[in-house]
Amino acid sequence: MAGLGVKCRVLLMVNGVSGGGVERVAYAHGRALAFDPGFELAMAVCGGCPDYLPADRCFTLPDFREAAKIRGVIGVGFNRGGMERLLMGFRPDIIHIHAYIQFSPGALSAVLAYKMKNRCKIFMTHHTFAYICPNDALYNFRAGVVCEKCVGKSGAGIIWNNCYGNAFGSWGKYVQKANFRRIFDRGLVDAHIAPSVFVRDKLKRHDPKLDAAVVQNPSLGSVLPEMPRKTLGKAVFFGRLSREKNVLAAAEAALGMPGGMRLMIVGGGPEAGRLKGFLKEHGSASDKIDFIDEFMPKDKLYRAVSDAEYFVLPSVCYETAGVSLIEALNLGMTPVVSGHGSLREIVESANVGYLFDPHDAESISKALESAAANRKNDEKALAGAVRGFLNGHTEKAYAAKILALYGRGDCT
């Protein structure tokens, strides 16, 4: 920790701070440091600066995937010079990496060189599986299935299995990750952080020597003192409409939901068109489904969905942190979610909710039936014990854990 009167300089690396997931975590992380008198904060981003950070402490570097094309994929030193100037100007004691792929292998090479010449500690939070999977998600997008064939291996399996979905993209992903891997293998990261026990265990399976600290994401500003009023039988899905979120399975299951139940789907993304086609195809049978094709700001989203009794998330890929599920629990919703990844971990830890096979619409329907039959009992847990569980997922809890980890670092 910094000595008396000396601020510890921390640089956060993240693609941006507007949006959900990693962006939201980095925003909350930065805000905790910005208002702590023991720290001086700067950010390296690819777009968008937080409102609490002075302009001269937010450094924008181009996203190499848009600017560099092939040069960035094959590891030419894109962004290296910009990162070097940033580091030598700010001279951080701690660098915390929330995202790195957007900056390119060249930028990480600059970070490694800085670390080797200066007294600096590197932390990295694993928001995705990019460290252990060349396709980032432990998911084969071509086949539409979970895939762990590269865990603990070189990652060449993405080429043979064409996990990206096209041969050139799979080859490019492999080369890109091989270049990042060479930097990591030289000891770039001093302390790894996982947002869930599930992610920690996957990292350890890849590298038995890697013992990541588990720090739950700051999914909540605070825990609501009481549940919002509920609309009887209302279920919701909210989030990005991508193939791996499997929202069409939720829509199909909704056709067979118990009488009186309705499903609201809120979100935008590449699957929106297919969902509209599904609703048109099923005509009046789809009257149980309300679709709002919009990625809403948080406040507006909460107004639209907070009266729901059930939260449905049929992801076929592994969720690393289950942020939307934590939000749903805070709003007093019974989880009805896929039975794997961090979703299972959260349901079992909170001791409320229902799990299903995301590849089986009947399994989803049965889980919804069970949730409807037990809603009264689940309400007691959601109004009581679950609130205590949620306290570990607030911005305050996150800041306390992160600062405790930093307290064991070297700030001069």
Q: What is the pLDDT of residues 124-144, one digit of tens each?
A: 999 999 999 999 999 999 888
Q: How confident is the model at residue 173 (pLDDT cuts 50, 70, 90)?
A: confident
Going from N- to C-terminal start, the domains of the chain cover: 8-218+394-406, 234-391
Using a pLDDT cut of 70, give the percent of the chain over it.
95
Helix (H, G, I), strand (E, B) or coil at 339: coil
pLDDT score, position 169: 83
Helix (H, G, I), strand (E, B) or coil at 109: helix
Q: What is the helix (H) or strand (E) element at residue 354, kind and residue range?
A: strand 354-356
Of the candidates 26, 73, 78, the one whose C-alpha atom is nearest the C-alpha of residue 47 is 26
pLDDT of residue 43 exceeding 80, the answer is yes
pLDDT score, position 203: 97
The pLDDT of 42-54, averaged and rounded, is 93
The pLDDT of 242-265, averaged and rounded, is 89
The pLDDT of 55-72, averaged and rounded, is 78
**Cβ contacts of residue 108 below 8 Å, gap of 6+?**
100, 180, 183, 188
Q: Between β-strands 58-60 and 39-45, what pairing exists: parallel, antiparallel or unpaired?
A: parallel
Of the candidates 92, 116, 41, the one whose C-alpha atom is nearest the C-alpha of residue 412 is 92
Residue pair 350/325 in contact (Cβ under 8 Å)? The answer is no
- Reported in sequence order, the residue ranges of 117-216 that DSSP labels E, i.e. its strands, are 121-125, 139-140, 145-146, 191-194, 213-214
How close are the terminal C-alpha atoms of the chain, in Å? 8
pLDDT of residue 302 exceeding 50, the answer is yes
pLDDT score, position 64: 80
Residue corresponding to tokens 């990206």: 164
pLDDT of residue 76 exceeding 80, the answer is no
Mean pLDDT (the chain, rounded):
91
22-37: pLDDT as tens digits:
998 999 999 999 999 9
pLDDT score, position 116: 96
Q: Residue 44 region, left (φ>0) first, then alpha (ψ -120 to 50), else beta?
A: beta
Sheet (strand 39-45) strand order: 58-60, 39-45, 8-13, 94-97, 121-125, 191-194, 213-214
pLDDT score, position 78: 82
pLDDT of residue 72 exceeding 60, the answer is no
The pLDDT of 83-98, averaged and rounded, is 97
Task: Give the Cα separation of 192 and 407 in Å (integer).
Answer: 15
pLDDT of residue 377 exceeding 70, the answer is yes
151-162: pLDDT as tens digits:
998 888 999 999
Of the candidates 109, 111, 151, the one whose C-alpha atom is nearest the C-alpha of residue 130 is 151
Query: Are 8-218+394-406 and 234-391 in the same CATH fold?
Result: yes
pLDDT score, position 70: 57
Task: Give the Cα separation of 138 and 131 in Å (integer).
Answer: 10
Question: Looking at domain 234-391, which CATH architecture does it have?
Answer: 3-Layer(aba) Sandwich (3.40)
Task: Give the Cα separation of 374 and 370 in Å (integer).
Answer: 6
Q: Please state the φ and ψ torsions of residue 337, each to the nearest 5 degrees.
A: -140, 170
Mean pLDDT lowest among 103-112, 253-262, 382-391: 253-262
User: Which pair of structure tokens corresponds to residue 167?
Assistant: 């041969």
Of the candidates 276, 19, 314, the one whose C-alpha atom is nearest the C-alpha of residue 144 is 314
Task: Give the Cα separation of 345 and 325 in Å (integer).
Answer: 11
Complete DSSP assignment for 225-247:
SSPPP--TTEEEEES---GGGTH
Q: How confident is the model at residue 172 (pLDDT cuts 50, 70, 90)?
A: confident
pLDDT score, position 68: 56
Task: Give the Cα separation of 217 and 399 in Å (integer).
Answer: 10
Q: What is the pTM for the complete model shown?
A: 0.93
Task: Give the Cα separation of 379 and 329 in Å (integer).
Answer: 11
Residue pair 364/255 in contact (Cβ under 8 Å)? The answer is no
Radius of gyration of the chain (CA): 22
Q: How confident is the model at residue 74 (pLDDT cuts 50, 70, 90)?
A: low
The pLDDT of 251-268, averaged and rounded, is 89
Question: Looking at domain 8-218+394-406, which CATH architecture does it have?
Answer: 3-Layer(aba) Sandwich (3.40)
Q: How far is CA 375 from CA 8, 109, 175, 359, 372, in A?
A: 49, 53, 50, 25, 5
